[in-house]
Amino acid sequence: RDGVVVMAHRADARLPVASLTKLMTALLVVESLPGGTPVTIDPRAAREGGSRLGLRVGERFSVDELLAAVMMASANDACLALALAVAGDVGRFVARMNARAEGLGLHDTRFGNPCGHDRPAGWSSARDLRVLAHRVLEEPRLSGPAGAVRARIGGGAGRRVFELVNRNELVGRYPGITGVKTGYTPAAGRCLVATAVRGGRRAALELLGARERW
């Protein structure tokens, strides 16, 4: 609360973080590409499994449209499309993720893929995620969708429309909530990074492998 840790349990434990991985992917994207940059969906992105929008090969979206899909709907196809737009190759993008983590001083963090799949393995800690989430929220292009209940992307010029609903169930329900991101895989369990501002006070919560989030 207000930058001071008031409760912690195994805060430095290295654990799988599922789609909380996307926080680093999104940060690298905003640091690399202007929001209006068009992205054409690559076949590799269209094939990406897990949570997805169902994007089709050749469809075009702006970077910020795909970022909204990543932050709100945790869409793996949008996530991989952005990673490929930045680096052209998954391996090169992951190398950039790990270099950026090192630059932020995230000593208990290692990424294995851009979207948070259990394999190749990646991990982080609750303490590192607090630092990463703080940096993400400094970017208006990320803090906006992180705190939005609903959004629409696509449409116009024959493009399909996608209605996004934030998977963070605190958004729109808990007074003052500002984000940030949920995640789940069988290996990681239920994960959440949540932030809120109320009465001028700021609070942050990081849960990894939780039995219950809400």
Catalytic residues: 19, 22, 74
* Residue 36 three-state SS: coil
CA distances from 193 to 14, 104, 205 (A): 16, 18, 6
Integer CA distances (angstroms), 16 to 10, 104, 192, 201, in order = 14, 19, 12, 30
* Residue 41 CB-density burial (10 A; 0-12 exposed, 13-18 middle, 19+ buried): buried
Give the separation between CA 38 and CA 60, rounded to whole angstroms. 6
φ, ψ for residue 122 (rounded to 5)?
A: -145, 165
Q: Token pair of 12, please?
A: 């430095």
Question: Which among 122, 126, 124 is positioned nearest to 95, based on CA atoms?
Answer: 122
